[in-house]
Amino acid sequence: MRPVAISVDAPEQSETLRKKAGYTITLLSDPNTEVIRRYGIVHKGAGMGGNDVARPAEFLLDHAGVVQWRNLTEDLRVRARPEQMLEAARQLR
């Protein structure tokens, strides 16, 4: 398993953020919210200039890409704790 983040930001913005924050995860760019919409996590009008963005969410997918666990929230400050995700991943094995 490996973590991946998806954002509406342009690839250049995502890469700048990744480097500045010291992230080692893959950051994917979805400026047209195509993937974000497939996962049902669009937060309409919540972005700069009233643009759609992704609402906070964490998913664990299996090797076939099927969602096996998810954590959804309306508050961007509230995220799953690493321990929660690791425990969920252990239970999926």
- Calpha distance 80→58 (Å, rounded): 7
pTM, to two decimals: 0.72
**Mean pLDDT for the stretch of residues 25-36:** 90
Query: Which SS3 state, helix, strand or coil, does residue 42 take?
Result: strand
Q: Is pLDDT above 70 for 1?
A: no
Token pair in block for residue 27: 């950051």
- Calpha distance 62→86 (Å, rounded): 14
